[in-house]
Structure 1
């Protein structure tokens, strides 16, 4: 009896950690543990926010009768974790943030099944879109909003700043910042897939360079705000070919810059929209079938790999 209870607790913990791992598209408990470590290192309240959101979403998925295998893979919990992180990032009062986190995470779980079914018929993954939709619904009701990246040019970055800013982009996938939390997140990705870790580095680096060339500020780079959408896009499109992957990363930069220009709370929408665009384009070329098959194989491995992160307010 005791052994059965211990095994059940262990399975629940692995499910929770996989929910965190799915934020960076890795259905891996160790990856999730690395993200948890990054939150604890940067701000323990973020760890609490992710736990509240993931638990609420997973419980809602169980009550709704969703596929248990998908729940154990973290596919039903990671949007909830992101919803919790968004609530604590945009709402100053912790009690209010906790209440919104629970409600928003539950909302992502109930939205997930019909929304993902509709997207699958069009060959698209849902990624972090449920959390984006739910967060956009309540965000206009609060007064604390994310600060948009400045477009003012600043002095040339040193090698140390370049490394620190690049790594901070990985931390931003979970609303954290800083080089050390970023290292933990990248290690978590590498533990699950060295190939994805390399693509993530390339995506974050390319996105950051393009942003800086277009006039983004060095302070935004230091905070990791320029690279995280590119990193997530590169991971999501890693099986779709080099051209599609790099094209998706550049498109994510364009979308993020457009959102900043119009002072819109983009969060991970540039990553999601860029990835959808590349998935849609796979059916528009004569040789697109092979790319589409690669994307299908990748999605079958993770079911509907659905990460995301948001842009953390300054």
Structure 2
């Protein structure tokens, strides 16, 4: 019973660690948001994939008695749950897709460990890049693509649509377009660390403002597609790595422009940007600040 309890807590922590929160209650709210959000939009398969990826990435650490400390903290699960959300979003419900989901999720903790060894010398860590690399790899498998979920085209901007866009920017961290889901995610952050909730909301809002300022697609903006990367960067720099507000804002702006650049480059090779803008921008700020400390 004790081992079962530890394992369940590890799963919840792994869910929370997607936004750097080592908190069981936060993870429970995140999972609730994933289930509700995917159900509302008729994509329950995403919630099933999330659970499958989370479990597949956490179990090997315990079975092989390798990385159990990281597993207890949820650090083995967060890339797996993102892979579990991504593959059912992009690919059709086939046995091959589920096999790829399980295998790639199980690989994610080892890829994270492999990346962290050289990256630690730069003062950074893998963040969600194992999820990104393994999801990009899945596009090499020629899996049948999923049927697109219809999105409502926005013809005019209202306060309501902007508020939904802000929440959607939070929910899109898990590749889910649901303002209710986003609200639950923010509540989960608030329980763990109110500063993380504030920075997350500010990051999503900043993404919306920058996207409008540079005349990006209105529907994409209100669906949160310009909010989730800045939101993650804001949490990382403003809360986890305790950088100044100015550096965090700079990181958010860098994130936006990297996203714009990747949106033009990556479709040429048929892969999505995912959370790559967040990873790259956060790495840039952390490397610059760590070098400054060394020079001082």
Alignment TM-score > 0.5, same fold:
yes
Matched-pair contact (CA < 8 Å) for 2:171–2:177? yes
| Aligned counterpart in structure 1 of residue 283 of structure 2, from 276, 291, 298 | 276
Q: Does 1:41 align with 2:36?
A: yes
Alpha-carbon distance, 1:287 to partner: 9.3
> Which residue number corresponds to residue 11 of structure 1?
6
> Which residue number corresponds to residue 252 of structure 2?
249
Give distance in 1, aligned partners of 2:225 and 2:84.
19
- Secondary structure in 2 matching 1:237: helix
Name whichever structure is richer in helix by fraction. Answer: 2
Give distance in 2, aligned partners of 1:64 and 1:207.
42
> Which residue number corresponds to residue 163 of structure 1?
163
Matched-pair contact (CA < 8 Å) for 1:282–1:288? no
Give distance in 1, aligned partners of 2:293 and 2:75.
33
Bigger relative CO (Cα 8 Å, ≥ 6 apart): 1
Give distance in 1, aligned partners of 2:86 and 2:79.
10
Distance 1:80 1:113, change over 3 A: same
Q: Does 1:31 align with 2:26?
A: yes
> Which residue number corresponds to residue 196 of structure 2?
196
Alpha-carbon distance, 1:145 to partner: 8.2
TM-score by length of 1: 0.83
- Secondary structure in 2 matching 1:246: helix
Matched-pair contact (CA < 8 Å) for 2:33–2:182? yes
Q: Does 1:211 align with 2:211?
A: yes
Q: Does 1:178 align with 2:169?
A: no
Alpha-carbon distance, 1:284 to partner: 4.2
Give distance in 2, aligned partners of 1:61 and 1:168.
33
Give distance in 2, aligned partners of 1:133 and 1:82.
12
Matched-pair contact (CA < 8 Å) for 2:15–2:78? yes
Matched-pair contact (CA < 8 Å) for 1:64–1:110? no
Give distance in 2, aligned partners of 1:159 and 1:267.
27
Name the count of aligned residue pairs.
279
Alpha-carbon distance, 1:146 to partner: 11
Alpha-carbon distance, 1:271 to partner: 0.3
Give distance in 1, aligned partners of 2:147 and 2:137.
15
Give distance in 2, aligned partners of 1:63 and 1:277.
36
Root-mean-square deviation over aligned CA pairs: 2.2
Distance 1:12 1:284, change over 3 A: closer
- Secondary structure in 1 matching 2:122: coil
Give distance in 1, aligned partners of 2:53 and 2:183.
24
Give distance in 1, aligned partners of 2:245 and 2:147.
33
Deviations along 1:228-280, whole A, 9 cap, x unmatched? Answer: 00000000001111121111111110011111122251100000000000001
Matched-pair contact (CA < 8 Å) for 1:84–1:98? no
Listed as ranges, the gaps of 5+ residues in structure 1 are 148-153, 290-314
